[in-house]
Homo-oligomer: A and B are copies of this chain.
Amino acid sequence: MKVGVVGASGYVGGEVLRLLLNHPEAEIAAVTSRQHAGEYLHRVQPSLKGFTEMRFSELDYDRLSDGCDLVFTAVPHGTATEIVKALYDRGVKIVDLSADYRLHDPGDYGKWYGWDHPHPDYLQNAVYGVPELHREEIGRARLVACPGCMAVTSILALAPLVRAGIVDTDHIVVDSKIGSSGAGSGSGTAHAMRSGVIRPYKPARHRHTGEIEQELSAAAGEKIRVSMSPHAVDVVRGILCTNHTFFAGGEPPDERALWRLYREAYGGEGFVRLIRDKGGAYKFPDPKFLVGSNFCDIGFDVDPDNRRLIAISASDNLMKGAAGSAVQCMNVMCGFDESAGLRHTPLTPV
C-alpha cells in the first residue's frame, strides 16, 4: 500500500518514517516538507542514511491523494486543520498526528487551544486513535486523530478504573513527566538550560486534559474531570504518568480484583504490558524499559492509609505516544495485522 507523510522533518515525522521503512505492507510514496523540498530525507533525518534515497517534495494535495492510499499528517497543531480537510475531501485515508481533530466538541478547541476550529463539521469524521478503546470505529474510519502522548498514556491507565466506577471522580490527579522529544524539534530549549531540569509547566489547564476528560467520560458514561500537571525531566524519550486516584465509597477492591480489571481490559492487547513483579528490577512501569517500542506499560500500587490507588503508566512519547499509535491505527484501518511493523523490542539500556 502506498502511503504519504506530510511534515516529516520533526521528531514525530522522523519516527513515522523509521516505522514505515520497515513496514511489511506499506511503501512510502511521498514525503513532503515545505522547508526541505528537494533535499534527501537523510540530510534532515541523518539516522535514515542507508535506508532510503527519497527526497522531500512540496505538499501537493492532488498528487498526494492520487499517489497514496493513506497519508500521515505530522505538522504543528493548528496547521493541520486545512491539510486534513483538503486530503479528506479528496478521499484519501488520513492518520493525523496533530491535535486538530482529536476533540469531538468544537467548543473544546476554544477552551483548551484558544482558537475556533475552522471546520467543526469535520470533527465528527475523526475517530480518536486508541485501538484499545475504539478498535472497531478505527477499522471503519477514514480519518483517525492520534492521541496526545501524555493523554494516551494516562487514558489507558485510568479507563478501566473509571469504567468500573471504583474511583472518586472528583480527585483524579495525573502527574506526568516527559522527555524533551515531546516538545518537537522546532521549539528546542538549549541543552544547557534543559539538562537537569525537573520543571513543571502548565500545572493547571494543560491541553491534554481535554482529551483525557473526553475519553474517560466516554468510558465512564459520566462527565469526568481530571487534575493534570505535566513536568519536563531530563530524558529524551519517555513519559511516566502517575495517576493518583482515591477509591470511591465502600469497601475498596483488593489487589487481585484490580489486576483482574486490568487483565480484562488489556489481557488480549498486544501493546499493553501489565507490570506486576513484586521483586526484580522492574516493579513499576518506567519508560526506561520500553524505549523504542510501542508498549504502554501499566502497573499500580495501593496506599491503604489514604484509600489511594496509584495507577502508573509509561510509554515512549514518539511511539505509543505518536508514531507507533499512528502506524497501529493504520494497520487497523487497512486490515493489516495490528502489530505489523511494530514488533520492536525496547532498546535497553539506552
A binding-site residues for B, Cβ under 8 Å: 11, 14, 18, 21-22, 43-51, 170-171, 173, 175, 177, 179-181, 183, 185, 187-201, 203-205, 225-227, 229, 231, 233-240, 242, 244, 246, 273, 275, 277, 279-293, 295, 301-306, 308, 310, 312, 314, 343, 345-350
Q: Is the CB of B231 within 8 A of A345?
A: no
Report the bound CA distance from A305 to B234 in whole Å.
30
Q: Which residue of B lies closest to A202 (CB)?
A: B301
Residues of chain B within 8 A (CB-CB) of A194 are 190-191
Q: Is the CB of B46 within 8 A of A203?
A: no
The copy count of this chain in the complex is 4
Q: Is the CB of B192 within 8 A of A190?
A: no
Report the bound CA distance from A305 to B287 in whole Å.
30
Report the bound CA distance from A45 to B348 in whole Å.
8
Q: Is the CB of A312 within 8 A of B200?
A: yes
Residues of chain B within 8 A (CB-CB) of A187 are 190
Q: Is the CB of B225 within 8 A of A305?
A: yes
Residues of chain B within 8 A (CB-CB) of A293 are 47
Answer whether A190 and B185 are a contact pair too, CB < 8 Å, given A18-B345, A277-B43, A345-B18: yes
Q: Is the CB of A350 within 8 A of B347?
A: yes
Residues of chain B within 8 A (CB-CB) of A345 are 18, 21-22, 47-48, 51
Q: Which residue of B lies closest to A179 (CB)?
A: B192
| 30 A-B pairs (CB sep. < 8 Å) | A43-B281, A45-B348, A46-B277, A47-B347, A49-B282, A171-B246, A173-B308, A175-B175, A175-B242, A181-B349, A190-B190, A190-B194, A191-B236, A192-B349, A193-B281, A196-B238, A196-B288, A196-B350, A197-B286, A198-B239, A198-B240, A200-B284, A204-B305, A204-B308, A225-B305, A227-B306, A229-B244, A231-B240, A236-B349, A347-B350
Q: Which residue of B lies closest to A21 (CB)?
A: B345
Q: Is the CB of B236 within 8 A of A233?
A: no
- Which of B47, B49, B173, B306 is close to A225, meaning CB atoms less than 8 Å apart? B306
Report the bound CA distance from A349 to B238 in whole Å.
11
Q: Is the CB of B348 within 8 A of A47?
A: yes
Q: Is the CB of B198 within 8 A of A188?
A: no
Residues of chain B within 8 A (CB-CB) of A303 are 203-205, 227
Report the bound CA distance from A43 to B276 in whole Å.
11
Q: Is the CB of B177 within 8 A of A192?
A: no
Q: Is the CB of B235 within 8 A of A198?
A: yes
Report the bound CA distance from A191 to B235 in whole Å.
9
Q: Is the CB of B281 within 8 A of A350?
A: no
Contacts A190-B194, A347-B347 supplied; 14 other A-B pairs, CB < 8 Å: A44-B280, A47-B347, A47-B348, A191-B191, A191-B195, A196-B350, A197-B288, A198-B235, A199-B284, A203-B301, A203-B310, A205-B305, A227-B303, A236-B349
Q: Is the CB of A192 within 8 A of B11?
A: yes
Answer whether A349 and B199 are a contact pair too, CB < 8 Å, given A175-B244, A290-B47, A302-B204: no
Report the bound CA distance from A170 to B349 in whole Å.
38
Which among A47, A185, A188, A239 has the greatest number of chain B C-beta atoms within 10 A?
A47
